[in-house]
Structure 1
């Protein structure tokens, strides 16, 4: 009875059990021997409740399966050895090696769960219970400076160290040299051996000791603030140095730290910025003794503004809130803090950023400062042309900045940098010299204008931007350019300039003169080294004489942007532009002709004609584009996509023709685009796709949304072996071809608002499929009879606004096994406005179903009962808008989720 109670406690709240099999073999309990059977028979004869006997039998079987101490077999009957081992294990289990972590953490649990998963550790109800993978694994935690990498790693370390025979926390000093490495080695050896440090004469000796001492020991090693593999090579350079089940956790300053480890045992977790509500909660914890009282509500709007400026960076939130702590009633201090955050990070924050910045080489520092001062939100491929021309090697520099988490690259190649990092970069420039004309970069309108009007030499200025408010422009003379400059980037932004530049701009690589009113002013510039010319939204025309003079001078030009030039009726003459790589004519509303000189652009990789509404035909000269990779013709009046020559555009990767309402035909020539990875035809007037589309073996994205005349897909669609995303929303498609079963790499299938009548059965074995969207399919009716077991990766299922009445929760008519409930990765299920759904059935408690489900939407339904919520431990939000038939509201405190409800 006592043993049964112990096992119940073990299951209920994870109490630890250490069985000692003192005078019996565990197998005799797991597979009961005669004495055990006889004992139970006696209990049965005495009339003991059969239910109790069943519990006792199960308890014996369960405890026999727990790893314990077997005196007869493990210690040869030596009680002294057994006692030593038991005492050692219990002391190790009870020993507190916790690292110091703040009690005011917010939103850390989702991060912890993901890290535990990557470490291969079972983590239930806030407790780490078991190491489920016996291989040695290493995990790097990365993220931008100040995002909370160390805090997360310490929290995880405290949760799991009891599972290991030895553990060690090592912090890498700022400047690690030979003696510093030996000190770290001594600390590691001492921590794992649990005794005083031993003397080491060289780092090589320390490496040998580590390699030879812990091969049979399950260890946890946490190394904080690693920037180079050489810093850890002599500590954890080879994973074979440590015993099965060992884990190495490290916070890193660069993502490429683990490149020297085998990919199958090395993983990474990037800590993202805090969500807005979490950031506000953290701010309140540090700024107020308790959540603001009613009389403190005037500070709410300031709190929100401060948090929005900080953009979810925990370090800055904590420092700022701590400074404002108990300063209610001092509103001017709050306002002053907000103003300072907009232009100047706190000193403590600067020190954290500076460590990362100082590790950059000079060229990468220049790229970082350029981005901070000028290029946030810009397509990285444009400034890369300038950096390449200046010898900065942008491909390496941008990759390094991404590895350091100082910048990110968006889906459309745009550069992103955190606000505080941007201000840190600007602060570096301004601190170098108080005199404006001696700084390397000028972005402030007033400062830039004053330098242009000064008589001082501004030879240090490399980049200058005159940026005006909307509707504002400037007219000035350029005598300020009369002295030597090192200017490589100049933004004039709607300015009108008189005078002569003389030789001041001979080093210019990028001229950004958007809104230019007189193109003739350009003719006095020295454009010999120019690689980027941006005249977007200017009053330029197709005057061949003017363009001939400009392009004759700018022979090195690689990027020409003429977006929004409303008076441009014909493209320039490109006979002399043999280096041009990117031509942007987007939103040139009068442009109808693309000159034959386009065929001379043998190095063109990107042609953008988006929303040139008078362009009706693809330029014939495209057939000469041997290196073209990107063709953007969205919003044009193109009527047919047809390529004249079989070998034309053999390198084309992106063809985007969305919102081309006149596009009625795609010819078989589409099949010759062997390198195509993206094909966007959203909103086209096509009524069929050619069979040759199946030849696009590299195609990853096929977007056919809102092609309202398209009734079916060709059978050859199944040949798209690389396809990952297929959007068929708002088409006439009622069923998919059987060949869809061959799309083994498909991740996203969108069929919203189609004529689909049945759940597509041929997708049942697409084990990479993560998202299915069948919302607003009005013909999808009744109970869905589908075997979901093959969709092992499914995360999102949308069935809103359909006539479906239910899912095969646990009734699989095919095999008698559970189907829908086997979707262990599902985290979003949308059944809103499915008015035929009456109940969410109770799921079998003995199965691991829907454990990852985070969002359940059943709004506007006739659902009456909710019985399966206990099997959804990760549920965070339950949407119950307008569910009048629901008789009982679930208790959100019991299940720990948020309920959205209206008209309940």
Structure 2
């Protein structure tokens, strides 16, 4: 179904209309501020800068971001190019500054080339004076001419000022009567809207959400202050609320998203209050002393402010009465969204200002589509036909609950061909309709083996969001984690993210924690203690000699800056901990054998490490001392490496005092060493070469590390080397080394100017990331990387060409050449038979690369913002049979290949039957759109079509676009007839038409 069009905003709400066309995704800053220092630096600019930063917007300002010794002109130009938008603050003497005018000219150039957004602030000047170059502006240019500045530069500056004068901006004197605060609030709000900084993350690939969004939006646009979204567990309440929140949050002066924990205690309530106050004030979080203090601050701070607050998973009114208990605390037009577990929660609000929307389960058609999507993935229709009837019956029993459908379908997916299990699952569900969601979870949980259940409970209690490779180092002492995690993923109980992080749905997490809670009435009787208060209770019980032999994992989670000191004498056999999180706590005393079973010690932010504690870490596998005060020199630190004989993972991320590398011993079994963000670390010691079992070395953003020790050649087992953001100048390896290396990431290494021929000996390499390097070539030896799957060269601004040997990369799937100087691809790329993604956005490409025309695995081609790509595409694309995404926005192309003649027209379209997205926005040379005649039924899979600044005249054949979800039309003056919104089932966006 199509997404619902956005309903009109509430009364008295206005927004600034900006062109939200795409900008480069490779940016270092959100906003570039340009200003003349003596005019506004210490007043308006300073206030605006801090307001933007307080809203978590990354701002470039010249006195804070330029490094000493940089060429100011080049650095400023690069900063402008690497920003998503620019805000010039035009004051009376702005034009008297040569650097300001250079910045302005660069902004205008970026707008023309990259469609970068410019929003000027006319501080104390009239736009007409800029347009006509009169008054103080004229005087400034007269002085520039007297100084002998090149006339070409002056002409370019004048043109830039005149361009700025035409733009819609902010007029401080005429519209805001000189009030800085009001203007600054407006600018921050509009920048947030443009950058979508407040959008909540929503899962892709949903089915049937659009009608709910439309109805909920209709209620929000009424004079209703509180909207309660209710429904059965797993029906999609949170997803719906996130959709609504993302659609309307930009209409409010402040917004906040709060997740209610299951048990709201006083410290957790204050944390929610602190977040709410911080979000609405757009300031850093400040600590409260009591919940009553927080209530007073909320009640008196926002009563003249129109806000949007989304509170997720409310189970009773007491959880929120100190947050949004009285609607008079917030200004007129405010909205409060809630997802609730009970329908009577809003009884404390007046009925005339509160309403509810119940999310009903999916209808049978939508539910079946979702079930088939997860049970059969991409299986052909004929292979799923024998399951059709049974699939429909199962879906009817589950009654359209999305989460339960996904869980059940995923469980059955790996059991195709075993009809008896499908039938048993159907029969089992028939007798358990009352607790469908929980029972759907239980079906999968009960099917797990014992070890897999333990790993599931560990993730539910502690490790959601953790790197599964690290957690596996603990689990491997008892289980077979690779096998068991794969089983959990197959059942959709757990997902593994792109960066190997474990992810579990919140309802599944609660289900797992309920299982642990049922193990005993008291915390110290249970196997896992994740709640801070329960952990303190368990520690107190241990001092009373209570037995806690069942406790396997315990976590203390202090607020930032808080800590506590514990004495642990006499615990002895009472502990059987394998995981312990201390989180800034200080522990001392005689531990005896209390921690002899410990496998994972998470002690981030510790300031003092007890020697007695270290003496009992003989079985430790994982040690995390991130953000701690270790220096690499202390005697205690040396004992860590000496006593932890079985240590496999050592994390020292962001240890800002670590100025000397640790001295490692050859007998260590260390597999993962993480030194990311150790900003003072000048080098990696030679002793790292003695770590014969090391698999991963992470040096990300150790900015003073300039070279790698030759001893790395001894690391025969190393598979992952991460040196992003370091000062490495050259990548070179000794002969016959690094043969097992699979991942080499050197992104944002701005000093990296050379890759030696030794790169060719990395026979196992699958990932090579050089994004942002200063290299001007790749060695021909790259042809030896037969296993390479991802090659990232984006933002290598000096790279002019690829070697011909690139065609030997027979396993290459993704190649990113965005923002390089490459004008054409070598003919050998025709041999990249496994290539799926080709990104050349903002490159110097002149012609559509014919070399790729027969790459039948290619799914995505991105040539957007290639300003030199001109004329009609003379390439028969029928060989691109897998193409799903084609981006040609902001190019000078004048026509697609099938517009040339009838023969090419038929052949090409028949091969693009999988095309889902076609972006022709800002293609002002396109005179006709040949893909929409009525006989083009083979484009029925097209989902997204964007047309802007084109001279197309007709849009015939839209009725054949069966899967088209959205048609975007911007500024198409030659279009003779607008599409009928009532006729088509897809969304038609005609803003700025």
State the match for 1:880 in structure 2: 969
2:475 aligned to which of 384, 387, 403 = 387
Asked whether the equivalents of residues 452 and 481 of structure 1 are also in contact (C-alpha less than 8 Å), the reply is no
Asked whether the equivalents of residues 772 and 798 of structure 1 are also in contact (C-alpha less than 8 Å), the reply is yes
CA distance in 1, matches of 2:658, 2:341: 55
CA distance in 1, matches of 2:606, 2:985: 59
Pick which of 370-379 and 322-331 moved more.
Answer: 322-331
Q: CA RMSD in A?
A: 3.5
Pick which of 766-775 and 802-811 moved more.
Answer: 802-811
Asked whether the equivalents of residues 800 and 830 of structure 1 are also in contact (C-alpha less than 8 Å), the reply is yes
CA distance in 1, matches of 2:462, 2:944: 40
CA distance in 2, matches of 1:847, 1:310: 39
Pick which of 400-409 and 433-442 moved more.
Answer: 400-409
Does the alignment pair 1:508 with 2:593? no
* Per-residue deviation, 1:546: 2.9
State the match for 2:502 in structure 1: 415
1:717-760, CA deviations, whole angstroms, 9 ceiling, x for partnerless residues? 00001101000000000000000111111110000001111000
1:783 aligned to which of 872, 876, 894 = 872
Q: Structure 1 residues 480, 310: CA separation in 2 closer, same or farther (over 3 Å shift)?
A: farther
Asked whether the equivalents of residues 770 and 793 of structure 2 are also in contact (C-alpha less than 8 Å), the reply is yes
Asked whether the equivalents of residues 497 and 521 of structure 1 are also in contact (C-alpha less than 8 Å), the reply is no
Q: Structure 1 residues 615, 887: CA separation in 2 closer, same or farther (over 3 Å shift)?
A: same
CA distance in 2, matches of 1:353, 1:541: 47
State the match for 1:770 in structure 2: 859
1:474 aligned to which of 560, 564, 567 = 564
Q: Look up the SS of the partner of 1:432 in the other structure.
A: coil
CA distance in 1, matches of 2:208, 2:765: 42
* Per-residue deviation, 1:498: 3.2
CA distance in 2, matches of 1:401, 1:336: 36
Asked whether the equivalents of residues 464 and 502 of structure 2 are also in contact (C-alpha less than 8 Å), the reply is yes
State the match for 1:736 in structure 2: 825
The number of residues matched between the two structures is 625
1:397 aligned to which of 472, 484, 501 = 484
State the match for 1:712 in structure 2: 801
Pick which of 558-567 and 357-366 moved more.
Answer: 357-366
* Per-residue deviation, 1:548: 2.3
RCO higher in structure (CA 8 A, sep ≥6): 2
Asked whether the equivalents of residues 500 and 524 of structure 1 are also in contact (C-alpha less than 8 Å), the reply is no
State the match for 1:636 in structure 2: 726
Asked whether the equivalents of residues 523 and 549 of structure 1 are also in contact (C-alpha less than 8 Å), the reply is no
* Per-residue deviation, 1:619: 1.9
State the match for 2:447 in structure 1: 359
* Per-residue deviation, 1:107: 9.1
* Per-residue deviation, 1:499: 2.7
State the match for 2:845 in structure 1: 756
Asked whether the equivalents of residues 544 and 572 of structure 1 are also in contact (C-alpha less than 8 Å), the reply is no
* Per-residue deviation, 1:775: 0.4
Asked whether the equivalents of residues 547 and 573 of structure 1 are also in contact (C-alpha less than 8 Å), the reply is no
Q: Structure 1 residues 370, 306: CA separation in 2 closer, same or farther (over 3 Å shift)?
A: closer
Does the alignment pair 1:572 with 2:668? no
Pick which of 690-699 and 884-893 moved more.
Answer: 884-893
State the match for 1:519 in structure 2: 609
* Per-residue deviation, 1:298: 2.1
- The aligned runs of 1:267-346 (5 Å cut-off) are 278-279=208-209, 281=211, 294=222, 298-299=226-227, 310-311=238-239
Q: Structure 1 residues 825, 572: CA separation in 2 closer, same or farther (over 3 Å shift)?
A: same
State the match for 1:123 in structure 2: none
* Per-residue deviation, 1:302: 7.9
State the match for 2:926 in structure 1: 837
Q: Structure 1 residues 809, 821: CA separation in 2 closer, same or farther (over 3 Å shift)?
A: farther
Q: Look up the SS of the partner of 2:712 in the other structure.
A: helix
- The aligned runs of 1:602-617 (5 Å cut-off) are 602-617=692-707
State the match for 2:835 in structure 1: 746
Q: Which runs of 5+ in 2 are unaligned?
A: 4-201, 243-311, 316-337, 359-403, 405-433
1:495-522, CA deviations, whole angstroms, 9 ceiling, x for partnerless residues? 1223332321111000000001123457
State the match for 1:350 in structure 2: 438
Larger Rg: 1
* Per-residue deviation, 1:705: 0.3
Structure 1 runs, 4 residues or longer, greater than 6 Å off: 272-277, 290-293, 301-309, 319-323, 325-328, 332-338
CA distance in 2, matches of 1:776, 1:419: 40
Q: Look up the SS of the partner of 1:891 in the other structure.
A: coil
Q: Structure 1 residues 424, 601: CA separation in 2 closer, same or farther (over 3 Å shift)?
A: same
1:858 aligned to which of 947, 950, 956 = 947
1:262-314, CA deviations, whole angstroms, 9 ceiling, x for partnerless residues? xxxxxxxxxx97867955855999x99x9789465621578999987755899
Does the alignment pair 1:726 with 2:654? no
With normalisation by structure 2, the TM-score equals: 0.59
Asked whether the equivalents of residues 966 and 987 of structure 2 are also in contact (C-alpha less than 8 Å), the reply is yes
Does the alignment pair 1:537 with 2:627? yes
- The aligned runs of 1:18-97 (5 Å cut-off) are none
Q: Which runs of 5+ in 1 are unaligned?
A: 1-105, 109-271, 339-344
Asked whether the equivalents of residues 551 and 576 of structure 1 are also in contact (C-alpha less than 8 Å), the reply is no
1:811-846, CA deviations, whole angstroms, 9 ceiling, x for partnerless residues? 348867442564111000011111222332364544
* Per-residue deviation, 1:573: 1.3
Q: Look up the SS of the partner of 1:804 in the other structure.
A: strand
State the match for 1:495 in structure 2: 585
1:590-630, CA deviations, whole angstroms, 9 ceiling, x for partnerless residues? 11121111111111111101110011001211100111111
Q: Look up the SS of the partner of 2:489 in the other structure.
A: helix
* Per-residue deviation, 1:388: 0.4
With normalisation by structure 1, the TM-score equals: 0.64
- The aligned runs of 1:163-182 (5 Å cut-off) are none
CA distance in 2, matches of 1:337, 1:373: 32
CA distance in 1, matches of 2:683, 2:943: 53
State the match for 1:592 in structure 2: 682
CA distance in 2, matches of 1:791, 1:284: 38
